[in-house]
């Protein structure tokens, strides 16, 4: 597998001087072509910051991020991004949203009519792929959250990006819709041969989707450990209940709890319950 994204000694500090917060400390990572990598970690671990740095929305304080060996210098059409919500344009219909990036290029380049036709063909193909045909002329706020995210993904895929960056894209959806979206995005990754970097707080989602799961740790934000996922390439919802899957889920969850320094103090809770019971008895 050839390396698509190469992160070297990435360091990011927010704020200045003593009050500065280290969001990323010495992150080194290689992401392969057409790989699906997921990032999990306790809040404040810098997983979203790292994603935004790859997307060019934030700049590193030091270190470098290379795509195909070339340093990135801001956002670019080779790296599309899908956000958790509020990223669609409510004044445009579904089709117009999906064609937005094309509209930008149409303003700059002298497109021939066959180019425009090809773009329309691409938009139609994505609308079909995402199951949006029946709502193509609807406005985003007429759609459910799951449908809105389908539009956002289709919009991101239109210019055929080599990399798709996803920042908790299904975080606001209900469990059933998420399952559908999971299988859909796996299908897309196979079909489009896109490299996908996916940030989530849901460990199950991370294992189900990722070929590798990167666990990040907070204060300072850093890569803690990387888990290779040992599941067949063709995923299936039942796999989530198999022992191997559950074991890995348990291992990752425990690792996240340890890095977060947060554990439920069961003894303390027990003592508090007993105290409360005694008080009730006395009354």
Partner 1 sequence: MSSRNKILAKWDSIWVIRGELSRRSYLLFALFGMLVPLAAWWGLSVSGWMDKVFMPGPMDVLSRAYTWLMEDELSHDIWISTYRVLAGFSLSAVLAIPIGLMIGTYRPVQAMLEPLTDFIRYMPAVAFIPLVMLWVGIDESSKIAIIFIGTFFQMILMVAEDVRRVPITQIEAAQTMGASRAEIVKLVIVPSAKPALLDTLRVTMGWAWTYLVVAELVAANSGLGYSILRAQRFMQTDKIFAGIILIGLIGLTIDQLFRWLHRRNFPWLYKK
| Residues lying near partner 1 in the complex (CB under 8 A) | 55-57, 75-77, 79-81, 83-91, 100-101, 103-105, 107, 138-142, 152, 155-156, 159, 165
Q: Measured between alpha carbons, how far is 225 from 193 in angstroms, rounded to an integer? A: 26
Alpha-carbon distance of 25 to 44, in angstroms, equals 12
Question: CB under 8 Å to 213, separation ≥6 — which residues?
Answer: 37, 38, 39, 40, 203, 206, 207, 226, 227, 229, 252
**In the complex, minimum distance from the CB of residue 82 to partner 1, in angstroms, rounded to a whole number:** 9
- Identify whether 220 is preceded by a cis peptide bond (ω within 30 of 0): yes
Give 104 or 262: the residue with its C-beta nearer to partner 1.
104
Q: Of 83 and 212, which has the nearer Cβ to partner 1? A: 83
**Least distance to partner 1 from the beta carbon of 68, Å?**
17
The residue behind tokens 């990011």 is 12
Burial (Cβ within 10 Å: 0-12, 13-18, ≥19) of residue 197: buried
**Which of 7, 165 has the CB closer to partner 1?**
165
Nearer to partner 1 by Cβ, of 54 and 252: the residue is 54
Residue number, 14 or 83, with CB nearest to partner 1: 83
Q: Are 221 and 11 in contact (CB under 8 A)?
A: no
For residue 220, the minimal CB distance to partner 1 (Å) is 24
CB of 188 to partner 1, least distance (A): 17
**By C-beta, is 65 or 213 nearer to partner 1?**
65
Cα separation values, 60 from 167, 193, 235, Å: 18, 28, 35
Q: How far is the CB of 132 from partner 1 (least distance, A)?
A: 17
Q: How far is CA 134 from the centre of its chain?
A: 27
DSSP 10: E
Tell me the closest approach of the beta carbon of residue 145 to partner 1, in angstroms: 14
């Amino acid at each position: 597998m050839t390396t698509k994204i190469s992160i070297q000694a990435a360091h990011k500090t927010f704020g200045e001087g003593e009050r500065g917060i280290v969001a990323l400390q010495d992150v080194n990572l290689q992401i392969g072509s057409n790989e699906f990598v997921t990032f999990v970690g306790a809040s404040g671990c810098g997983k979203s910051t790292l994603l935004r740095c790859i997307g060019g929305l934030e700049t590193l304080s030091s270190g470098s991020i290379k795509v195909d060996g070339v340093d990135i210098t801001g956002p670019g059409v080779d790296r599309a991004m899908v956000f958790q919500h509020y990223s669609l344009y409510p004044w445009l219909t579904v089709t117009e949203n999906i064609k937005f990036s094309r509209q930008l290029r149409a303003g700059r380049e002298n497109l021939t009519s066959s180019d425009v036709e090809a773009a329309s063909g691409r938009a139609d193909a994505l609308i079909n792929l995402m199951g949006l045909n029946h709502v193509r002329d609807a406005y985003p706020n007429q759609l459910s959250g799951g449908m809105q995210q389908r539009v956002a993904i289709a919009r991101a895929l239109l210019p055929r990006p080599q990399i798709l960056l996803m920042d908790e894209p299904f975080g606001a959806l209900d469990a059933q819709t998420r399952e559908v979206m999971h299988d859909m995005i796996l299908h897309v990754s196979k079909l489009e041969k896109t490299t996908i970097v996916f940030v989530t707080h849901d460990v199950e989602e991370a294992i189900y989707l990722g070929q590798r799961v990167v666990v990040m740790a907070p204060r300072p934000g850093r890569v803690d450990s990387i888990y290779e996922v040992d599941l067949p390439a063709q995923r299936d919802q039942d796999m989530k209940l198999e022992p191997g899957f559950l074991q890995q889920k348990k291992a990752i969850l425990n690792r996240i709890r340890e890095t977060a320094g947060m554990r439920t103090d069961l003894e303390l809770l027990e003592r508090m319950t007993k105290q409360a019971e005694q008080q009730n008895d006395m009354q």
